[in-house]
Structure 1
Amino acid sequence: MSAGPPDAAQPAVDLSRAQIAAHVRKVLEPGTGRDPVVSLAQWGGREIVIKDFAPRGFWVRNLIGRWMIAREARAYRALAGHPAVPRFYGCVDALALALEYRPGRRMSRRLYRALPTGFLGELEQAIREMHARGVAHLDLRHRTNVMADANGHPILIDFGSAVCVRPGGLAARILLPLLAYFDLRALRKWQLRMGA
């Protein structure tokens, strides 16, 4: 498995394709014909999430899967160390990647009433930090991609639709503000839904 920058506290996961099935504890999202299977696995004393296009048909695997995994891996590498983003452990191969498992609850009005008053401010800060690193998520309007951890802090997941640009580059100056609009519009949706 290839990985992003190693971290002494959480080294990259060295998990091969052959080992995935033996370590999967639960399928979190079976996906549809074009989406990856998302599984929870136990590996090296920790829980990890595996996003895997291998079970999909030939065309999905090779036309969509490889591209989506590479795109998502790039976003996670750009966001390494971001407090609201799960740690990227690396790609198993061209069809699967491994991430830190961050348990949390999906956004809802009911959940929002139980969150600390600063949640939406933290969410906005997390989104702006993401943009400062050259990443636009583009799919934050879905409640499955914005979660709250047990302490009421935001978690941003599923960067399959993300666009990455080099911070400070021409694309960051021209394209990123246009793309960031969609993320900030999603934030506004959450603010309105939560009554803020």
Structure 2
Amino acid sequence: MDDRGSVEIRALKADSFGRIVLMRRGDMLFVRRDLRHVPAWLRLPARWLARREARGLEAVAGMADVPQLLAWDGRVLDRSYLAGHAMYQRPPRGDLAWFRNARRLLRELRRHGLAHNDLAKEANWLVLEDGRPAIIDFQLAVRGRPGSRWMRLLAREDLRHLLKHKRTYCPDRITPVERRVLKRTSWLRDAWFATGKPVYRFVTRRLLKWEDNEGQGPKP
């Protein structure tokens, strides 16, 4: 990867799977996920996650309010920068328009054959400088045929996570239909809580020593 003219502005996040930094090249700001200093025993999962992110960003090429893939060489992933704040930093409290636009954004993801799979974390939702919603961090994204049962199930889980945030920040604007969606859990969610989540907590909290608060995620 040609790094000539690229300057690191500041670190946004660093964990066992790499560093995420804000970069500048000329007049362009972009975000870099750098795996070059990942410990040897974590390189395989780190590259697997970054490769998933690259494939997810390829699926949404040209779509508004999501990052655009700039480069991926197996060690460094560059994506476009979206100016804004994470949901927990600038909560869309009482902002019904934000949640309506966020739901449209999820529908657009579905049309592109993509499910995000990590939208419970407020850190993965942005409030852009003009107030629009945006979505970042596609490491767990899944690509598939938009109309398939599997992708419909994953899209429903993405929607449930958005509605949970709406219940937090716009509790008086939850509709009866949305309440039913929130109450109706899927077998996928139940299986995750019964099996996957205990393993995730053990790995991230005991082995990797992350302090992840579930909703917000690790903060910069």
Q: Same fold (TM over 0.5)?
A: yes
User: In the alignment, residue 194 of structure 1 is paired with which amino acid?
Assistant: Y
TM-aligned CA deviation for residue 24 of structure 1: 1.2
Q: For 1:181 and 1:49, how far apart are their aligned partners in 2?
A: 29
Q: What is the aligned-residue identity percentage?
A: 30
1:22-44 deviation per Cα after TM superposition (whole angstroms, max 9, x unaligned)? 6212111012x2x2210011113
1:181 is matched with 156
C-alpha change, 1:80 and 1:111, in structure 2 (3 Å) is same
1:48 to 5, 30, 36: 30
- Report whether the alignment pairs 1:23 with 2:7: yes
Give the TM-score, by structure 2 length. 0.72
User: In the alignment, residue 23 of structure 1 is paired with which amino acid?
Assistant: V
Q: For 2:161 and 2:37, how far apart are their aligned partners in 1?
A: 32
SS in 2 for 1:23: strand
Report how many residues are paired: 171
- Aligned-residue Cα RMSD (Å) equals 2.0
- Report whether the alignment pairs 1:190 with 2:169: no
1:99 to 72, 79, 85: 79
Instruction: Note if contact 2:23-2:32 (Cα within 8 Å) is conserved in structure 1.
Output: yes
Unaligned runs of 5+ in 1: 2-14
Q: For 1:131 and 1:38, how far apart are their aligned partners in 2?
A: 27
Runs of at least 4 residues of structure 1 off by over 6 A? none
Instruction: Note if contact 1:109-1:194 (Cα within 8 Å) is conserved in structure 2.
Output: no
User: In the alignment, residue 31 of structure 2 is paired with which amino acid?
Assistant: V
Instruction: Note if contact 2:124-2:136 (Cα within 8 Å) is conserved in structure 1.
Output: yes
Deviates more, 1:154-163 or 1:22-31: 22-31
Q: For 1:166 and 1:53, how far apart are their aligned partners in 2?
A: 30
TM-aligned CA deviation for residue 114 of structure 1: 7.6
Q: For 2:91 and 2:55, how far apart are their aligned partners in 1?
A: 31
1:84 to 50, 65, 70: 65
Q: For 2:39 and 2:12, how far apart are their aligned partners in 1?
A: 20
C-alpha change, 1:120 and 1:30, in structure 2 (3 Å) is same
Q: For 2:135 and 2:166, how far apart are their aligned partners in 1?
A: 16
SS in 2 for 1:182: helix
Counterparts of residues 160-179 of structure 1 (less than 5 Å): 160-167=139-146, 172-179=147-154
User: In the alignment, residue 57 of structure 1 is paired with which amino acid?
Assistant: P
Q: For 1:51 and 1:26, how far apart are their aligned partners in 2?
A: 12
2:194 is matched with none
Which structure carries more helix by proportion? 2
